[in-house]
Amino acid sequence: MKYAGVDASTPVITGVVSRVEDRFCTLRWRWPEGVQAVYIHKTAAETPEDGDLPPSGMKLYTREEYKAGNGFRDRLDEIGMVAYTIYARLSGDGETLLVRQQDGSNRVLVSAGKARIYYSIQHKKGLFSKLKTVQMTITAEVPVPKEVLCYVKKRDSHPSSKEDGTRYPFVQDFAPGRNQLPPIEVGKDDFIRIFLTDGRKYGLYYELVPE
C-alpha cells in the first residue's frame, strides 16, 4: 500500500461532515465517481502524518457499507480532539493506492469530549493535636498520568489556584475507578485542594469535579 500520484483528474474525497451523539461519531462525505472503497484513519488531532507512507491501523470501508449504514459510524473511546482522515482507494499495477489530499479536505476534527476526574478531600483533626490527617481520593473515568494533577497546601484558607500556596506533585499514575491515596499529615490550620497542573493543556481532555 502506498500513496498515489495526484493530479487534476485524481478522484478525491470532499464534503466531509461529522456528528457526535452518545459517544458515537458518524461521518459522511461525497464519494468521487469510480471509487468503491476508502481507508479511514483515526488518530489524536495533534499527531502528524507519518511521512511518505500511509499510516497503519486504518479501516477499509466500502461504498456498499456506507449506503447500508448511511455513513460511517465509530465509537469514541478517546478523549480530547480526534482526527479522521478518509483516503480514496485506487488500484494500480496490482497495488493498493491511497489518494493523499494536501488540502486536508478529506480530514475532519471531532471532539470526543472530556473525561471526568472526581476528587474528594477529607480532613480529620485530633482534639489536642497540632496536626490533622488528610485523605485524598481520586475517581477517574480513564487512566490519568500523575503529571496531570497536583495538590496545593495553604494555611488558614482553601487555595484558590495552583499558585495560591505550596504545590506538590503526585507520585503515581491514577487507574480508572477509585484511587484512595495514602493519608498525609498537615498543620491543623492547613487546607488542601487538587488542581490540573496545566489548565490550558489538560483542560482539553479532563474535567476536574469535586465530590
Q: Which three cell numbers stand for residue 90?
A: 485506487
Q: Among 66, 84, 111, identify where a domain stops.
A: 111
Give the pLDDT mean for 58-72.
97
Alpha-carbon separation of residue 8 from 12, 86, 165, 188, 195 (angstroms): 10, 19, 61, 74, 52
pLDDT in tens, 156-208: 999 999 999 999 999 999 999 999 999 999 999 999 999 999 999 999 899 99
b/e map of 60-92 (b: 16 or more CB within 10 Å)?
Answer: ebeeeebeeeebbebebebbbebbbbbbbbbee
pLDDT value at residue 99:
95
Listed residue (176, 89, 92) closest to 138, CA to CA: 176
| pTM of the complete model | 0.72
CATH number for the domain that contains residue 11: 2.60.40.10
pLDDT in tens, 91-130: 877 889 999 998 899 999 999 989 999 999 998 887 778 8
DSSP 172: S
Q: Among 59, 85, 111, identify where a domain stops.
A: 111
pLDDT value at residue 116:
94
pLDDT value at residue 50:
67
Q: How many domains does the chain have?
A: 2
pLDDT over 70 at 28, yes or no? yes
24 shares its domain with 77: yes
b/e map of 12-45 (b: 16 or more CB within 10 Å)?
Answer: bbeebebeeeeeebbbebebeeebebbbbbbbeb
11 shares its domain with 81: yes
91 shares its domain with 180: no
Residue 12 · residue 106 · CB < 8 Å? yes
105 shares its domain with 142: no
Quote the domain boundaries for residue 138: 115-210
87 shares its domain with 131: no
pLDDT over 70 at 13, yes or no? yes
pLDDT value at residue 76:
92
